[in-house]
Structure 1
Amino acid sequence: MDLLFVRKVCALTLLALASLANTGLAQAAPGIRIDEYPALQDSSLLQTAAGDKKNTVTFTDSAKADYDNNNSDITLRGLAQVRRTDAILKSDQIRYNTDSGEMTASGNTRFFKDGTLITGTGLNYNINTDSGKFFDPVFSLAGGGSGTASEAEALDENHTRLMDVIYSGCDCPEKFWTIQSPQVDIYDDENEGVAKNGVLYIKGVPVLWSPYLTFPVRAEKKTGFLTPTYGYTSRGGYDLAVPYFLNLAPNYDATITPRYLSKRGLLMGGEFRYLMPAYSGIASGTYINKDMETREKRWSYSVLHNHRLGQFMGLNFNLGLDWNGVSDDNYFRDFTSMGLNEADQTYLSKRATLSWSGYKYWNGYLMLQKYQTLQDDTLGRLYGQYEKVPELKVRGRRYNWNGFDVETDNTLTRFEFPTYFGDIVDLSRTDGHRAPDGTRFTSYNTISYPIVRPGWYVTPKAGLHVSHYSTDWYEEFGRYGFRSQAGTQKGSIDRVLPIFSLDSGMTFERSTTLFGKPSLQTLEPRLYYLNIPYKDQSDIPIYDTSISQFGFGSAFAENRYSGGWDRINNANLLTLGITSRWFDEDSGFERLSLQLAQRFYFEDQKVTLPGEQVRKRSKSDYLAGLSAALTDTLNTELAVQVDSADQNVVQSYASLRWKPKRLASVSMSYRYQQDPFLDERGNPLRYQLKGKETTSLSAQWPFTEKISGVGRIDYSIQDKRVTQSILGFEYKGNCCWTGRVVMQRYAVSKEKANSAIFLQLELSGLGSLGSDPMGLLRENVPGYESTTVPVPVKSTFERYE
């Protein structure tokens, strides 16, 4: 209901206050000279508003104009109008008394300002007292919507009262919905409107009533209730939230959200937003004193803060904070009402970063990174991951320095693994440590000389990587003890490795045809040579390093290990890649793209992660990719990685998307990835994600002119289960309304799932009632479009008279 009254106020406030109080007669009617009438020269009618309007020129016109010296009246008759650059007032007759300040417009009266048109049977207004009435106003707003009132009375320059108001944002001849109120008071200075006994009618049936409603006059923040949301989930039950917004100041505000879940109880939520000259952020949280299911207190919090600290010694300093926490492992599974993203979180970030930049070519940061591990008992116990307490990084970049590019990355990190005491089965260690802690320093310095010419490029690059490790292996208790890959416990280790690479490529073009259309085809070969000598690294601990999945991104990378630098592969290899593209000759649109790549190894693999099998082949897997716009409505993507020895598919991806028209789309995808790296026992390494095989089908389709369906299903072939399913229907009414029902079921753990249903009634020009599933549909259904066509913003000159 808020949007309704905002628009209503904008229209009628302009009518009763801005239009009349600021409308002057700087030029009298034809045939009348102002210098002949001294009373007019002193009249407040000639006084314009302060600010931007003080220099506004006012024009008048009419079929006949009279001035009565005895009564000090000026009268415009027949097509009378007062026109300024920002507003127009028309009427059959306009009369103004220079002594009393009374202005009267009678007959067919029209007022136009900023695209808003108001018509009525007349108006009386006193410029001296800033009071008056507009009779039987009918308004049509620039932003859409229209309404009527029996009268609009300006009680003073700040207070306007509207009587018997009927408003609708529906442009149909027969309004689907209206809002009616017997009295609406507008307080312009306070940006506040008060509607008494407002009732929402749908097809003439009252569905919502409010005895006292406040709303903002202008499109600004205003304290008050926001639109309630409601729905149902299988883990939370019936769900109703009624947010209350507090406009504390122009640059900070808060929202308090009581949320009742029938299976859980009352969950109180709050959010505080602030925007200061040097800092900004959002702090939010929730709390339930006693969950009816678990009988425990449950809570969550999140703090996002960005702070510009200013300059010191020529550097710009900034502070960033991203700190999150929940009361227990299942909080998101139980209280997430929409979508899969929050429900399957494993690690909550707790990060604070002090960064600096601005000193020539240098920048860096000091970061504290911790985590809260959210367990899923059905998947086995997680023991967390290494935390950085803290990490210091200093980076330097200088490009085109006499043709050279010079870079340096230097990082000092203290790694600590979360400790546990007594909550892990068969824990025989008494100190709670599950992994060794330690400190790592790395410095990688490179120099390259890019040679770029039309049609080709060559980039030689040389680098030196220096590392130092100081490790706390801890004492050994029972059968538990921490040792390196080599079985040692060296406390201090140094490593120095040179890295050489040569990257080169060419581009050829030719005119050809594709699908019978003139096209431009390119052929883009690329050669990448890499050389890194071997160094035994088996004494070095593993803090944050894992194996990169082989693909087009990693095929041209220096290190096959991602994350940190705990392992640097030995390399004497050549990567060959080739890309060919087809572009429409007229538009330049890329119609087809093909990619191929393979690595050739000139020496055996000697560096491995603990448990990783050594590569014994001289060639990598084949990589192939295809992206094609088969027609203007049909697109496909294919990617495959094939074992070069036994021709088995290691991983693959395929998708097909068809969008023949608006509100119609079908998308299918298939993804397969085997367990790429196994230990001696055939188990996936702990540094790797397990393999997967999944399919997905999503669609939006109109069944009739009014009814359309939308849905998605994700199926894990490997786990033999549906991980997510969405089914929804949308009904587009004849005019001004749309109804939606969306059902969703998604996995929140290996064995558990959550089901939810969302109902929404969208009233054009007013807003939506119920839970909003639009974000869910846009995120999960590729190509989804709302059945409601956005109303274009109207120009203020669209209905200019």
Structure 2
Amino acid sequence: MTQMKHQFKFNPLATAILTLLCGSSISSYAESTIPASTVDNQKMKDSIQEAYPGQQFFEQYYVDKSAPEAQQRQGQNLGSAYCKGTWITPISPETKAVDPDNATSTVTADYGHYDPNGDSVLEGNVLIDQQGRQIRADKITIDQTQTYANAQGRVQMAQSGLLAQSDQINYNLKTQQGDLNNSFYISEEQHAHGRADKIARTSENIVVMNNATYSTCPPDEKPTWKIQADKITLNKETGRGETRGTKLYVKEVPVLAVPYFNFPIDDRRTTGVLTPSFGFSNDGGVELAVPVYLNLAPNYDATITPRYIGNRGPMLEGEFRYLTENFGSGMIWGGYLASDSEYNDKDRKDLHLLHNWQINNQFSTNLEYNYASDKDYFADLNNNPNSKTDLNLRRAWELNYKNGIPGLKAQLKVEDFLTLDDTVADKDRPYARLPQFLLNYKTGDAQGLQFEFDHDTAYFKKDMSATSLANNDSYEPSGTRIYNDFSVRYNYRNPWSFVIPEVSLRNVNTFYDKDTVNTLNQTSTSSENQSVTVPEFTLDTGLTFEKEGKYLQTITPRAFYAYAPYKNQNGHPNFDSATASINYDQLFSPRRFYGHDRLEDNNFLSLGLSYSLFDEIGLERLKTSVGQSFYFEDRRVRLDNESDQFDTERHTGPVLSVSSQLSQNFTLGANSAWMANGDNAQRDVQLYYTGNQGNLYNVGYFYRKDIPNRQDQYDQVVASFIQPVSNNWRIMGHAQYDLDNNVAREYLLGVNYEACCWGISVYGRSYYNDLDNVNDDSVKPKRAIMAEISLKGLGGFNNKLSSLLESRILGFNKINQSWTQR
């Protein structure tokens, strides 16, 4: 008998199958609702011959990454670098399916019979095809009343990277209820597969699965891990899933059991328990935290984290996020630990607030508040490895203006600081700005005549202790400072030269507040206000010479002259200024100080020479710059009103900067500055290498000479590395060594293993609090041993190591991505 293909519309039957299958696969969590089973004797024999359940089905769609069908996906969704194969389903994840209610189904079969008075049948290679969706079966039957549908014989459904198989589906078209047994599924995008003994669609929105599994491990081996649940209920209406009797298996051995778990199956935010975290440290002991997410409203939520630290006791942390319709967004977070037994039974706490509001295209505002009970809080209790202890916690409100009047930017802010270390002297604590107004206006031609105006008005306030008030030498005044700077420059540039003359007029006015005036009048005859005006002239000029050939070479000589007359500013307060650092670019700036408390006197000339060498592929093989400043007068304006030898020297020492891209993988950088007497003031050398096999090496040396009132001593070596030792193993480390104090400020050593569906990292770390005096015998380093386990496709128990390395190893993100996704 010769069979023929028939094409015809059969929407009731297609709707039955598609509603059952597609309706239960709305989200990535519902893939396991798609079925597969074996019913006849021949298929039972095939099942017995399989090495694992569903072998024939899974291996049909798990292909080598070098296969043409895998390459056609252009590297998308190809899975972990350590998987030899990848899932390729008939319809790619990028193909979106139309709504079954609105789609037209084209049905193809070897045989089709429609009986309005009895059962209608499609038989032999049945294919129901819609845009972005396919269903295959050996036989499909629908009853006379158009109520019950039955599909038999390896029923498969493919849609948007999802593929499922079942040998039989029974479905009630009117109640939209049905069930299927022994189901297998594949999710290409999640690189996952699994099975369920029974799947029942109990209503339009609820699917119940019994004895269901989930894993991202390759199908051709016993899974390294899998999740198995006695019962999974998926509720499309609420967007939540519930599991009961859930177990995590590692190599078929149950290692974790969760009686009940609630999880999301779509993008809606819902209340539930998040992934717990655990760790160990030498001062805290064993730690466990269980965050609970609270979806309070569509525009605000909270996370409450009960936390237990073995040696310290219970702690509570919280975070509240909010989004307003017209007033911006923000978050509030903090923590509380009562009677810390490792900290003299003191209560430990912190509180933070951050709010941002883009009012319109021109105005924006932000608010920041930070509080901590002590200087050791963040080192002892903060879970974030990227957190760095700041001595002074900022509290500020800012109102910003830009993008309105062309060339105009402005800011109004109120700023204060909380100094965490009570032993810090008042003179070393920062001033509060109550408030400060900043304005910059630039207009004219960037290639011609240009005008610029800078303005800074601030009221600086510092609350002084009784000791400081009694000690006149350490008294810190408070008051208002008004700074104005009006400049005119002409920018002349062409391909081979530039000449930029500039004339400016600068003014600083200081008005002491009442408390300061009363105190100063008791001890001296200081004026209640002070005013200084200084004109200034600068000329910046240079030439560029190029030579083309196999390599492109450029030489740029540069000369910079600055003149400003001396105005006596002895006794003027220093609210927020500091001496500028020494580097090549600083040679060509008239500003010796950062801040607006002093108007520099200048009469100097800086000369510099830069050389660059570019190869044929554009790498800058060599860039070197050397320069020096020559003074025609002593510098008489000082921050601390005390002269030193540097203010009377006729010239600086040479300043040198060198960098080189020795290859696409190897970069070298070095900087050095000498004083006039030949002593080296500072130097640093950095080497950076990234290999093509996921290896990375960084070495840096940084030195700063102790120059009183100018820069503090600093002498440290920093090194880090990542080195693969096999296809799956790599070791990594970071060290920061203080040569001044002969102590390791921080060191970290870890090992990482990556497999197709899982990974593990174990590392040890020793470090000091940033604010600790390492020479104090009572100060001991903090030590921790941590483990990070990642079950790919499910999530990780801990993500601290990656965050830690990201902040300490230059280039870690790029290397880590190439290692895990090659």
Quote the offset at 1:7 in angstroms: 7.1
The structure where helix makes up a greater share of residues is 2
**Pair 1:122-2:168 in alignment:** yes
Q: Tell me the equivalent position of 1:161.
A: 208
**Pair 1:627-2:659 in alignment:** yes
String of CA shifts for 1:203-251, please: whole Å, max 9, x gaps. 1111111111111012443321111111122232222111111122333
Q: Tell me the equivalent position of 2:19.
A: none
Unaligned 5+ residue runs, structure 1? 17-48, 513-517, 677-683, 793-801
Q: Tell me the equivalent position of 1:650.
A: 681
Counterpart Cα distance in 1 of 2:473 and 2:137: 87
String of CA shifts for 1:374-397, please: whole Å, max 9, x gaps. 2175x8887521111111223323
**Pair 1:240-2:288 in alignment:** yes
Letter in 1 for 2:155: T
Q: Tell me the equivalent position of 2:334.
A: 285
Q: Tell me the equivalent position of 1:712.
A: 734
Q: Tell me the equivalent position of 1:44.
A: none
Which stretch shows the higher mean deviation, 653-662 or 347-356?
653-662
Letter in 2 for 1:439: T
Identity of aligned residues (%): 27
Q: Tell me the equivalent position of 2:77.
A: none
Aligned length: 723
SS in 1 for 2:548: strand
SS in 1 for 2:339: coil
Counterpart Cα distance in 2 of 1:6 and 1:214: 18
Are the counterparts in 2 of residues 474 and 482 from structure 1 also a CA contact under 8 Å?
A: no
2:762 aligned to 718, 722, 741, which one?
Answer: 741
Counterpart Cα distance in 2 of 1:650 and 1:566: 25
Letter in 2 for 1:598: Q
Which stretch shows the higher mean deviation, 181-190 or 752-761?
752-761
SS in 1 for 2:797: strand
Quote the offset at 1:70 in angstroms: 1.9
Q: Tell me the equivalent position of 2:20.
A: none
The 5 Å alignment of 1:378-417 reads 383-400=428-445, 403-417=448-462
Counterpart Cα distance in 2 of 1:718 and 1:787: 37
Letter in 2 for 1:747: Y
Specify whether residues 702 and 335 from structure 1 end up closer, same or farther in structure 2 by C-alpha distance, changes over 3 A only.
Answer: same
Which stretch shows the higher mean deviation, 448-457 or 296-305?
448-457
Which stretch shows the higher mean deviation, 435-444 or 692-701?
692-701
SS in 1 for 2:663: coil
Counterpart Cα distance in 1 of 2:538 and 2:319: 51
Specify whether residues 668 and 580 from structure 1 end up closer, same or farther in structure 2 by C-alpha distance, changes over 3 A only.
Answer: same
Q: Tell me the equivalent position of 1:494.
A: 531
Q: Tell me the equivalent position of 2:793.
A: 765
Are the counterparts in 2 of residues 178 and 200 from structure 1 also a CA contact under 8 Å?
A: yes
Unaligned 5+ residue runs, structure 2? 1-24, 37-95
Are the counterparts in 2 of residues 417 and 433 from structure 1 also a CA contact under 8 Å?
A: no
Counterpart Cα distance in 1 of 2:339 and 2:206: 47
Counterpart Cα distance in 2 of 1:757 and 1:432: 49
TM-score, structure 1 as length reference = 0.84
Are the counterparts in 1 of residues 737 and 746 from structure 2 also a CA contact under 8 Å?
A: yes
Q: Tell me the equivalent position of 2:489.
A: 448
TM-score, structure 2 as length reference = 0.82
Letter in 1 for 2:653: D
Quote the offset at 1:658 in angstroms: 2.9
Counterpart Cα distance in 1 of 2:247 and 2:799: 21
Are the counterparts in 1 of residues 409 and 441 from structure 2 also a CA contact under 8 Å?
A: yes
**Pair 1:599-2:647 in alignment:** no
**Pair 1:732-2:750 in alignment:** no
Specify whether residues 121 and 788 from structure 1 end up closer, same or farther in structure 2 by C-alpha distance, changes over 3 A only.
Answer: farther
Q: Tell me the equivalent position of 1:527.
A: 559
Quote the offset at 1:65 in angstroms: 2.2
String of CA shifts for 1:164-194, please: whole Å, max 9, x gaps. 1011122252200011112111100110011
Letter in 2 for 1:565: H
Quote the offset at 1:349 in angstroms: 0.6
Are the counterparts in 2 of residues 384 and 418 from structure 1 also a CA contact under 8 Å?
A: no
Q: Tell me the equivalent position of 1:31.
A: none
Counterpart Cα distance in 1 of 2:151 and 2:35: 13
Are the counterparts in 2 of residues 758 and 771 from structure 1 also a CA contact under 8 Å?
A: no
Counterpart Cα distance in 1 of 2:667 and 2:522: 52
SS in 1 for 2:470: coil
RMSD over aligned Cα, in angstroms?
A: 3.0
Quote the offset at 1:418 in angstroms: 2.8
**Pair 1:322-2:368 in alignment:** yes
Q: Tell me the equivalent position of 1:185.
A: 233
Quote the offset at 1:148 in angstroms: 0.2
Q: Tell me the equivalent position of 1:145.
A: 192
**Pair 1:274-2:322 in alignment:** yes
Counterpart Cα distance in 2 of 1:570 and 1:98: 102
The 5 Å alignment of 1:750-789 reads 750-751=773-774, 752=779, 753-770=781-798, 772-784=800-812, 785-786=815-816, 789=819
The 5 Å alignment of 1:168-567 reads 168-172=215-219, 173-278=221-326, 279-293=328-342, 294-310=344-360, 316-337=362-383, 339=385, 341-343=387-389, 345-361=390-406, 362-375=408-421, 383-400=428-445, 403-421=448-466, 429=470, 434-472=475-513, 489-512=526-549, 518-562=550-594, 564-567=595-598
Specify whether residues 724 and 406 from structure 1 end up closer, same or farther in structure 2 by C-alpha distance, changes over 3 A only.
Answer: same
SS in 2 for 1:608: coil
Are the counterparts in 2 of residues 340 and 746 from structure 1 also a CA contact under 8 Å?
A: no
SS in 2 for 1:149: strand
Are the counterparts in 1 of residues 318 and 333 from structure 2 also a CA contact under 8 Å?
A: yes
Counterpart Cα distance in 2 of 1:506 and 1:55: 71
Quote the offset at 1:539 in angstroms: 3.7
Counterpart Cα distance in 1 of 2:789 and 2:391: 35
Specify whether residues 717 and 612 from structure 1 end up closer, same or farther in structure 2 by C-alpha distance, changes over 3 A only.
Answer: farther
Specify whether residues 523 and 162 from structure 1 end up closer, same or farther in structure 2 by C-alpha distance, changes over 3 A only.
Answer: same
Quote the offset at 1:442 in angstroms: 0.9
Specify whether residues 244 and 602 from structure 1 end up closer, same or farther in structure 2 by C-alpha distance, changes over 3 A only.
Answer: same
Letter in 2 for 1:496: T
**Pair 1:9-2:59 in alignment:** no
Specify whether residues 250 and 583 from structure 1 end up closer, same or farther in structure 2 by C-alpha distance, changes over 3 A only.
Answer: farther
Quote the offset at 1:348 in angstroms: 0.6
Specify whether residues 519 and 123 from structure 1 end up closer, same or farther in structure 2 by C-alpha distance, changes over 3 A only.
Answer: farther
Counterpart Cα distance in 2 of 1:146 and 1:50: 21
Q: Tell me the equivalent position of 2:43.
A: none
1:665 aligned to 672, 675, 696, which one?
Answer: 696
Are the counterparts in 1 of residues 386 and 804 from structure 2 also a CA contact under 8 Å?
A: no
SS in 1 for 2:807: helix
SS in 2 for 1:185: strand
Counterpart Cα distance in 2 of 1:195 and 1:244: 17
Are the counterparts in 2 of residues 669 and 697 from structure 1 also a CA contact under 8 Å?
A: yes
